Structure 1
Amino acid sequence: MTSVFSAHAQKPQVPKIIDKVKTDVARPKLVVGIVVDQMRWDYLYRFANRYGNGGFKRLLNEGFTCENTQIPYIPTFTAPGHTCIYTGSVPAIHGIAGNDFIIQTTGKSMYCAGDTTVQTVGSNSAAGQMSPANMLSTTITDELRLATNFRSKVIGIALKDRGGILPAGHSANAAYWFDDLTGNWISSTYYMKDLPNWVSAFNKQKLAEKYIKQDWNTLYPIETYSQSTADDTKYEGKLTGEEKPVFPHLLSKMLNGSYKVIRTSPYGNDLTLDFAKATLKNEQMGRGTDTDFLTLSFSSTDYIGHNYGINAVEIEDTYLRLDKNLEDLFNTLDAQVGKNQYTVFLSADHGAAHNPNFLIDNGIPAGFWPTSRVLKDLNKALQQEFKEEEIVLSLNNYQVNFNNQMIASKQLDFEKLKKSAIRFLRAQDGVANAIDMENAALSSAPQQIRERIVNGYNYERSGAIQILLKPGFFSGYSSTGTTHGSWNPYDAHIPLVFMGWGIKHGSLNRQTSMADIAPTLAALLHIQEPNGNIGSPIEELLVK
């Protein structure tokens, strides 16, 4: 056989000439990313017998569901969750180590989206002094803007500032969030000097006030809420001014110069949807020559969950109403953009635990971890050994944040300090383990937990010791409601469903990661992955 490298080789074959080279990249007209704040994975099915056909069921029946999507880091909070979804990265890289975190060199607390160099647009409050500046990596929305030479329009919306800002990225056209003082949708000078005329007109409708004055009763007869505990239980928190946590919730009596109460009601989701629909219409999203991207976070589910816990009638009612919100949104997208002309995904930033007293009353191990008391006792124990006060600043994010400036100035033995703190914490009720962050990969914790600690550790913004509580335990004194933040499935197992342009119909049970969402979108759109991405495309859901 003649070698192609031989002097007497036959002339190499040339590729067949393609008659016409296709230069246009096929993409959807619009991508809509939906994050439901504090949505546990099982909510897809827990209330399914009462969902309509156009919301959650449409997602499942027409789209592709990844049934075992896990958060790949701890702590599991709102800001890191939204950031991971859109960056494909983890706190170790993207830098959003919590909703709040401590700059370890200075000991100063930093809010994830806080930025005093910018000013509020749309209100006289300080609620607009926010930007994505603390996020260290790009988002998939940034990469879309870069890929289209900034022709793609990107807008972020959420009641929570961090839920609107972080997903939209550094280069967004706009991000909007809710101002409790005025009831307006606001922004910051990071994005614009003045609100667009249509936003000002929307705010003049005073929809927040109108919703609040409706009060909150159940959507259906209360006796039909079979997936919930009784309406009045010791596991539920009360709204300000209420004697009992029962329906109807007289929100109209709670205005009192602030619109904050709308957050802890499903009307917060209604208002978010109203504003999203106005954005789609007035910004002509999905109508241009390049793909646009709307990031949308429903925040009220988190406020309601924190207050009432996951078994309350209030949660069931909220998700039945959210199901209708989703149907309305999808119908709007069908009409304005065109069915199968857009791609939508739905996920969550974290889940939530059962109320510990609820578990205890049903024979399941659980408990509350008294963080403030443990911090006080830990500092007392360290003071006895090292002769200095306030050696630990905080146990925020289930981490030991040391007073590093003082430790350096007093020349204390840091390694010895860590060992003493770990020994103290491991002896506390409710603690499963306490792990030195810098040596987490070599710890005795299970591999999956070790990886999540490593992924969540940003040495500039995270504490030096990670505290792991026993299953069913969480931080706090309150005996009502719920929270999140741990590695456990109730906090880390989230829904992930894609639907629309370029998406197959089906389901997947192998484990996927929250960090896989951004690279999957990059593959769908044929653009570069975010620059801190560690995830992989979920190939099974993409049309080849």
Structure 2
Amino acid sequence: MSIKRLTTALATALCLTAASAGLAQDSRPASTASAPAATAPKLLVVIAVDQLSADLFSEYRSHFTGGFARLASGVVFPSGYQAHGATETCPGHSTILTGNHPARTGIVANNYFDLAVGREDKRVYCAEDERVEGTASGSGKYAPSVEHLLVPTLGDLMKARDPAAQVVSIAGKDRAAIMMGGRRADELMWLAPTGLTSYRGTALSPTATQAGAAIAAAIAQPRPAMTLPRDCAARDIAIATDAKGGSVGTGRLARDGGDFRRFMASPEADGAVLATGAAIRAARKMGEGPGTDLLILGLSATDYVGHGAGTEGSEMCLQMLALDRELGDFFARIDATGIDYAAVLTADHGGHDLPERNRQNGWPEAQRVDPALYPAVLGKAVAEKLGLPQPLLYGDGPFGDLYFSKALTPTQRKAAMAEVLARLRAHPQVEVALTAEELAAHPMPTRAADLWSVKDRIRASFYAPRSGDIILALKPRVTPIAEPGAGYVATHGSVWDYDRRVPILFWRKGLAGFEQSNAVMTVDILPTLAALAGLELDRSKIDGRCLDLISGPASSCRP
């Protein structure tokens, strides 16, 4: 679903103006000839593209003519960093509008384990309330919640200063909408098979309800294969993923009617979020009042494509070029209103291609993880050797946080710890295995993010009440998926720069563009936007710093 199609479907119901509903789409970068206004923008637009690595942005930058080109005409930080080690969706989104690393946000992973939780399922999803009876951490079984986020978001701070400020957060994934939207958003929603949904018991606004119905109708319709642009032809090469004839690389993003996962793994999903954002902005008249409003958009399709087909095939090429067009259409609709707005785009993490294609494209060392490193397998082996109770070890995968059973006596725990560490540290695929005690004693890093050690990176994701007893990092180019499956051939989550580096792009009409290739961080976005909006911050409570967006002696970073 494109923003044009959904906006057309909603135009009559939402009583959009003729100029807005019938807008001729011109996504060329707007003129930056005039000086930027000294006053705060009326609207802040924050866009997070899930799994948009700095490498992916660089690879396609010369092909962009729409929304990405608009943003690239502004202030470009091509080497932004999700500086921490837990480069997953939830921790990454938690940094973007809080100004804090996961060590402060408390969002240490997509899932962590709380062995004291009262339910049978001890795994806890980052954006759930596990106290709700009858719930579990699995998809569709949890109660979505913001309770695990320990710090306020930009929207929370804006509402505290001015309760009339409007904050809306819309995303493909619930964790993206929640971690960026915070506790005080006026509207917060995400995509679902039924169109759009929000917290349990929360009714959508009339505009969101209408948008959701249009999205649900689109999901129900089959989508034919997309036409491969000439720019994508060189990437149209099949890569075998298993012995049964499975392959990726030549997909055209077709799907059957009602296939929600394939809908999410396509530009349609991003177009739906952008179109809904444009519709709700118009209905609420965001950016048209006396203060500054905040519109947050989380675009998830790039992540679904990256997991399902990798980052270097025709599938990702189709996604990147279509997303560029969708962003261009979205910006053009806001331009038509004449609102003074500032936009920023970044990502929650990067991503890495599947090892089978890496081995064909100049990196023969790329490999899949040894199944022996999965927590259940490792724990079973150690328990059997030492005669310890099982299950011994808990974890969400063969990297990240590992937790020992609470049933162990102190003596048993000491023996298990020594054996697990010895096995991990001797394994050829393991870069480092650090204990919680080692990390707690390590100071938070303060240097530029490109100079951080591996231990620094893991420390920035470490929050003692939720982090594991051991934190495991694999060596570079080791994909933590032992056997590829449908929709899951590649991933992210490592401590390495291909997962940490993301673009950070700022644009505002009248803002002279420049490029700064030195390392900045996503935690710098909140103080930068706060300065634009004239919002004072307690600097002792954030990890980021304001980025000066004005080239020359003037500064956009107010004291």
TM-score range, shorter chain: 0.7 to 0.9
One-letter amino acid of the structure 2 residue matched with residue 134 of structure 1: H
1:153 aligns with 2:166: yes
Q: Is the 8 A contact 1:437 1:454 kept in 2?
A: no
Q: Is the 8 A contact 1:399 1:464 kept in 2?
A: no
Q: Is the 8 A contact 1:104 1:462 kept in 2?
A: no
Deviation at 1:213, TM superposition (A): 2.2
Alignment partner of 1:67 out of 59, 78, 90 = 78
Q: Is the 8 A contact 2:124 2:130 kept in 1?
A: no
Write the deviation string for residues 160-208 of structure 1: whole angstroms up to 9, x where unpaired: 111111101111111111122x2x2111257x4x222222222333555
| Counterparts of 2:545 and 2:398, CA distance in 1 | 27
One-letter amino acid of the structure 2 residue matched with residue 370 of structure 1: D
Q: Is the 8 A contact 1:64 1:499 kept in 2?
A: yes
For residues 229 and 77 of structure 1, do their structure 2 counterparts lie closer, same or farther at Cα, with a shift above 3 Å needed?
same
Partner of 2:239: 233
Partner of 2:17: none
Partner of 2:295: 294
Q: Secondary structure at the match of 1:65?
A: strand
Q: Secondary structure at the match of 2:97?
A: helix
Partner of 2:336: 335
Partner of 2:306: 305
Larger Rg: 1
Partner of 2:508: 500
Q: Secondary structure at the match of 1:200?
A: helix
Q: How many residues align?
A: 495
1:473 aligns with 2:478: yes
Deviation at 1:313, TM superposition (A): 0.3
Alignment partner of 2:183 out of 146, 161, 170 = 170
| Counterparts of 1:104 and 1:360, CA distance in 2 | 40
Deviation at 1:247, TM superposition (A): 4.2
Deviation at 1:413, TM superposition (A): 5.0
* Residues 236-251 of structure 1 mapped to structure 2, 5 A cutoff: 246-251=250-255
Q: Is the 8 A contact 1:236 1:307 kept in 2?
A: no
Partner of 2:454: 449
For residues 370 and 179 of structure 1, do their structure 2 counterparts lie closer, same or farther at Cα, with a shift above 3 Å needed?
same
* Residues 384-403 of structure 1 mapped to structure 2, 5 A cutoff: 384-385=385-386, 387-394=388-395, 396=397, 398-403=399-404
Q: Is the 8 A contact 2:191 2:197 kept in 1?
A: yes
* Residues 132-281 of structure 1 mapped to structure 2, 5 A cutoff: 132-148=146-162, 150-180=163-193, 182=194, 184-189=195-200, 192=202, 194-206=203-215, 208-209=217-218, 212-218=221-227, 220-221=229-230, 224-226=231-233, 228-230=235-237, 232-235=238-241, 246-252=250-256, 255=258, 259-281=260-282
Partner of 1:425: 424
Q: Secondary structure at the match of 1:176?
A: strand
Q: Is the 8 A contact 2:53 2:502 kept in 1?
A: yes
Q: Secondary structure at the match of 1:412?
A: helix
The two structures, once aligned, show a CA RMSD in angstroms of: 3.0
| Counterparts of 2:140 and 2:386, CA distance in 1 | 43
Partner of 2:368: 368
One-letter amino acid of the structure 2 residue matched with residue 37 of structure 1: D
Q: Secondary structure at the match of 1:205?
A: helix
Deviation at 1:497, TM superposition (A): 0.5
One-letter amino acid of the structure 1 residue matched with residue 255 of structure 2: L
Deviation at 1:435, TM superposition (A): 1.5
Give unpaired runs (5+ residues) of structure 2. 1-37, 134-138, 446-450
| Counterparts of 1:237 and 1:226, CA distance in 2 | 26
Write the deviation string for residues 80-103 of structure 1: whole angstroms up to 9, x where unpaired: 111111111122211111111112
Partner of 1:58: 70
Alignment partner of 1:513 out of 510, 521, 537 = 521
Q: Is the 8 A contact 2:235 2:249 kept in 1?
A: no
Deviation at 1:286, TM superposition (A): 0.8
Deviation at 1:515, TM superposition (A): 1.2
Q: Secondary structure at the match of 1:34?
A: strand
One-letter amino acid of the structure 2 residue matched with residue 366 of structure 1: A
Partner of 2:16: none
| Counterparts of 1:91 and 1:424, CA distance in 2 | 28
Deviation at 1:371, TM superposition (A): 4.6
Write the deviation string for residues 472-523 of structure 1: whole angstroms up to 9, x where unpaired: 0121123473100011111000010111168542111221112111111122
Deviation at 1:262, TM superposition (A): 0.5
For residues 290 and 89 of structure 1, do their structure 2 counterparts lie closer, same or farther at Cα, with a shift above 3 Å needed?
same
Q: Secondary structure at the match of 1:523?
A: helix
Q: Secondary structure at the match of 1:67?
A: strand
One-letter amino acid of the structure 2 residue matched with residue 368 of structure 1: R
For residues 83 and 244 of structure 1, do their structure 2 counterparts lie closer, same or farther at Cα, with a shift above 3 Å needed?
closer
1:345 aligns with 2:344: yes
Write the deviation string for residues 97-150 of structure 1: whole angstroms up to 9, x where unpaired: 11111125448211111136789xxxxx957831211111101111111111x1
Q: Is the 8 A contact 1:29 1:342 kept in 2?
A: yes
| Counterparts of 1:80 and 1:237, CA distance in 2 | 35
Deviation at 1:275, TM superposition (A): 1.2
Partner of 2:410: 411
Q: Is the 8 A contact 2:43 2:294 kept in 1?
A: yes
Give unpaired runs (5+ residues) of structure 1. 1-24, 120-124
For residues 356 and 242 of structure 1, do their structure 2 counterparts lie closer, same or farther at Cα, with a shift above 3 Å needed?
closer
| Counterparts of 1:348 and 1:36, CA distance in 2 | 5
Deviation at 1:311, TM superposition (A): 0.7
Deviation at 1:465, TM superposition (A): 1.3
| Counterparts of 2:149 and 2:125, CA distance in 1 | 11
Deviation at 1:319, TM superposition (A): 0.5
Write the deviation string for residues 355-382 of structure 1: whole angstroms up to 9, x where unpaired: 1122223343121113565431343224
Partner of 2:316: 315
One-letter amino acid of the structure 1 residue matched with residue 264 of structure 2: R
Partner of 1:17: none
Q: Is the 8 A contact 1:398 1:468 kept in 2?
A: yes
For residues 75 and 525 of structure 1, do their structure 2 counterparts lie closer, same or farther at Cα, with a shift above 3 Å needed?
same
For residues 470 and 378 of structure 1, do their structure 2 counterparts lie closer, same or farther at Cα, with a shift above 3 Å needed?
same
Q: Is the 8 A contact 1:380 1:389 kept in 2?
A: no
For residues 147 and 372 of structure 1, do their structure 2 counterparts lie closer, same or farther at Cα, with a shift above 3 Å needed?
farther
Write the deviation string for residues 376-432 of structure 1: whole angstroms up to 9, x where unpaired: 13432244235332221225472342234212xx33354443332111111223112
Q: Is the 8 A contact 1:440 1:454 kept in 2?
A: yes
Q: Is the 8 A contact 2:105 2:150 kept in 1?
A: yes
| Counterparts of 2:97 and 2:503, CA distance in 1 | 15
Partner of 2:15: none
| Counterparts of 1:537 and 1:397, CA distance in 2 | 36
One-letter amino acid of the structure 2 residue matched with residue 225 of structure 1: C
Q: Secondary structure at the match of 2:225?
A: coil
| Counterparts of 2:164 and 2:502, CA distance in 1 | 32
Q: Is the 8 A contact 1:142 1:171 kept in 2?
A: yes
For residues 91 and 247 of structure 1, do their structure 2 counterparts lie closer, same or farther at Cα, with a shift above 3 Å needed?
closer
Partner of 1:6: none
Partner of 1:534: 543
Q: Is the 8 A contact 1:147 1:528 kept in 2?
A: no
| Counterparts of 2:433 and 2:304, CA distance in 1 | 29
| Counterparts of 1:384 and 1:81, CA distance in 2 | 38
One-letter amino acid of the structure 2 residue matched with residue 292 of structure 1: D
One-letter amino acid of the structure 2 residue matched with residue 425 of structure 1: L
| Counterparts of 1:476 and 1:314, CA distance in 2 | 20
Q: Is the 8 A contact 2:430 2:474 kept in 1?
A: yes
